[in-house]
Structure 1
Amino acid sequence: MLDNLLRGGPEAVTAGCLVAGEWLTEGATVDRVGPWTRRVVSAARQASDDDVRNALAYARRGARAVARMSPAARAEVLERAADAALARRDDLARLLALELGKPVKDGRGEIDRVADTFVVSAAEARRIGGEVLPVAGWPRGVGTTAFTYRAPVGITVAITPFNAPANLLAHKLAASFAAGNTTLVKPPPQAPAASAAIVALLLDAGLPPEAVQVLHGDGRVGGALCAAPEVGAISFTGSAATGAAVARAAGAKRLVLELGGNAATIVCEDADVAAAARICAAAGYSNSGQSCISVQRVYVHRSRYDEFLDSFTREVGKLSVGDPLDPATDIGSMVDDEAAERVVAWAAEAATAGATITTGGRRDGATVLPTVVAAPPADARLVREEVFGAAVSVLPYDDFDHVVAVCNDSRYGLQAGLFTHDVRRITTAWRELEVGGLVVNGSSNFRLDHVPFGGVKDSGFGRESPRWMIDDYTVVKTLLLRGISLFGDQEGTR
Structure 2
Amino acid sequence: MMPADEISRVGCLVAGEWVHTGTWDDREGPWTRTVVSSTRQADEHDVGAALAWARRGAKAVGRMSPAARAAVLERAAAETIRQRDRLARLLALELGKPVKDGRGEIDRVADTFTVSAAEARRIGGEVLPVAGWARGVGTTAFTHRAPVGIALAITPFNAPANLLAHKLAAAFAAGNTTIVKPPPQAPAASAAVVEILLESGMPAEAVQVLHGDGRLGGALCAAPDVGVISFTGSVATGAAVARAAGAKRLVLELGGNAATIVCDDADIAAAARICAATGYSNSGQSCISVQRVYVDRGRFDEFLDLFTREVEKLSVGDPLDPRTDVGSMVDDDAAERVVAWARQAAEAGATITTGGRRDGATVAPTVVASPPADARLIRDEVFGAVVSVSPFDDFDEVLATCNDSRYGLQAGLFTNDIRRIVTAWRELEVGGLVVNGSSNFRLDHVPFGGVKDSGFGRESPRWMIDDYTVVKTLLLRGMSLFGDQEGAR
TM-score (norm 2): 0.99
Q: 1:193 aligns with which of 188, 192, 198?
A: 188
Give the distance between the partners of 2:417 and 2:376, measured in 1 at CA.
Answer: 32
Write the mapping of 1:37-186 to structure 2, written as runs, cut at 5 A: 37-186=32-181
Structure 2: gaps spanning 5 or more residues: none
- Secondary structure at the aligned position of 2:48 is classed as helix
Give the distance between the partners of 2:52 and 2:429, measured in 1 at CA.
Answer: 42
Give the distance between the partners of 1:403 and 1:325, measured in 2 at CA.
Answer: 40
- Secondary structure at the aligned position of 1:491 is classed as coil
Give the distance between the partners of 1:269 and 1:489, measured in 2 at CA.
Answer: 64
2:465 alignment partner in structure 1: 470
Write the mapping of 1:298-317 to structure 2, written as runs, cut at 5 A: 298-317=293-312
Identity %: 83
Q: 1:35 aligns with which of 27, 30, 34?
A: 30
Cα offsets for 1:410-433 (capped at 9, x unmatched): 000000000000000000000000
- CA deviation after TM superposition for structure 1 residue 13, in Å: 1.1
Q: 1:368 aligns with which of 345, 363, 367?
A: 363
Cα offsets for 1:107-128 (capped at 9, x unmatched): 0000000000000000000000
2:19 alignment partner in structure 1: 24
1:3 alignment partner in structure 2: none
- Secondary structure at the aligned position of 1:37 is classed as coil
- CA deviation after TM superposition for structure 1 residue 12, in Å: 1.2
2:424 alignment partner in structure 1: 429
Write the mapping of 1:328-477 to structure 2, written as runs, cut at 5 A: 328-477=323-472
- Secondary structure at the aligned position of 2:18 is classed as strand
Give the distance between the partners of 2:66 and 2:218, measured in 1 at CA.
Answer: 31
2:291 alignment partner in structure 1: 296
Q: 2:231 aligns with which of 225, 233, 236?
A: 236
- CA deviation after TM superposition for structure 1 residue 264, in Å: 0.2
1:245 alignment partner in structure 2: 240
Give the distance between the partners of 2:133 and 2:452, measured in 1 at CA.
Answer: 40
2:258 alignment partner in structure 1: 263
Give the distance between the partners of 2:127 and 2:382, measured in 1 at CA.
Answer: 49
Give the distance between the partners of 1:286 and 1:400, measured in 2 at CA.
Answer: 28
Cα offsets for 1:19-46 (capped at 9, x unmatched): 0000011110110000000000001100
Give the distance between the partners of 2:25 and 2:67, measured in 1 at CA.
Answer: 39
Question: One-letter code of the match for 1:417?
Answer: G
Give the distance between the partners of 1:279 and 1:60, measured in 2 at CA.
Answer: 47
Aligned length: 488
Question: One-letter code of the match for 1:193?
Answer: A
Give the distance between the partners of 1:390 and 1:267, measured in 2 at CA.
Answer: 20
Give the distance between the partners of 2:220 and 2:4, measured in 1 at CA.
Answer: 35
Give the distance between the partners of 1:438 and 1:121, measured in 2 at CA.
Answer: 24
Give the distance between the partners of 2:314 and 2:93, measured in 1 at CA.
Answer: 20
- CA deviation after TM superposition for structure 1 residue 492, in Å: 2.6
Give the distance between the partners of 2:57 and 2:341, measured in 1 at CA.
Answer: 48
- CA deviation after TM superposition for structure 1 residue 493, in Å: 1.3
Give the distance between the partners of 1:428 and 1:41, measured in 2 at CA.
Answer: 49
Structure 1: gaps spanning 5 or more residues: 1-6
- Secondary structure at the aligned position of 1:161 is classed as coil
Give the distance between the partners of 1:398 and 1:54, measured in 2 at CA.
Answer: 60
Give the distance between the partners of 1:77 and 1:224, measured in 2 at CA.
Answer: 30
Question: One-letter code of the match for 1:475?
Answer: V
2:478 alignment partner in structure 1: 483
Cα offsets for 1:20-76 (capped at 9, x unmatched): 000011110110000000000001100000000000000000000000000000000
- Secondary structure at the aligned position of 1:41 is classed as strand
- Secondary structure at the aligned position of 2:465 is classed as helix
Give the distance between the partners of 1:491 and 1:455, measured in 2 at CA.
Answer: 48
Give the distance between the partners of 1:471 and 1:419, measured in 2 at CA.
Answer: 33
Cα offsets for 1:61-113 (capped at 9, x unmatched): 00000000000000000000000000000000000000000000000000000
Cα offsets for 1:387-411 (capped at 9, x unmatched): 1000000000000000000000000
Q: Is the 8 A contact 1:85 1:114 kept in 2?
A: yes
Question: One-letter code of the match for 2:355?
Answer: G
- Secondary structure at the aligned position of 1:23 is classed as strand
- CA deviation after TM superposition for structure 1 residue 8, in Å: 9.4
Give the distance between the partners of 1:10 and 1:214, measured in 2 at CA.
Answer: 23
Cα offsets for 1:135-183 (capped at 9, x unmatched): 0011100000000000000000000000000000000000000000000
- Secondary structure at the aligned position of 1:75 is classed as helix
Give the distance between the partners of 1:77 and 1:10, measured in 2 at CA.
Answer: 31
Residue 273, structure 1, aligned to residue 268, structure 2: yes
Question: One-letter code of the match for 1:100?
Answer: L
- Secondary structure at the aligned position of 2:230 is classed as strand
Give the distance between the partners of 1:16 and 1:9, measured in 2 at CA.
Answer: 16
Residue 282, structure 1, aligned to residue 277, structure 2: yes
Q: Is the 8 A contact 1:139 1:492 kept in 2?
A: no
Give the distance between the partners of 1:206 and 1:8, measured in 2 at CA.
Answer: 32
- Secondary structure at the aligned position of 2:252 is classed as strand
- Secondary structure at the aligned position of 1:480 is classed as strand
- Secondary structure at the aligned position of 2:6 is classed as coil
Give the distance between the partners of 1:112 and 1:331, measured in 2 at CA.
Answer: 19
Give the distance between the partners of 1:55 and 1:115, measured in 2 at CA.
Answer: 27
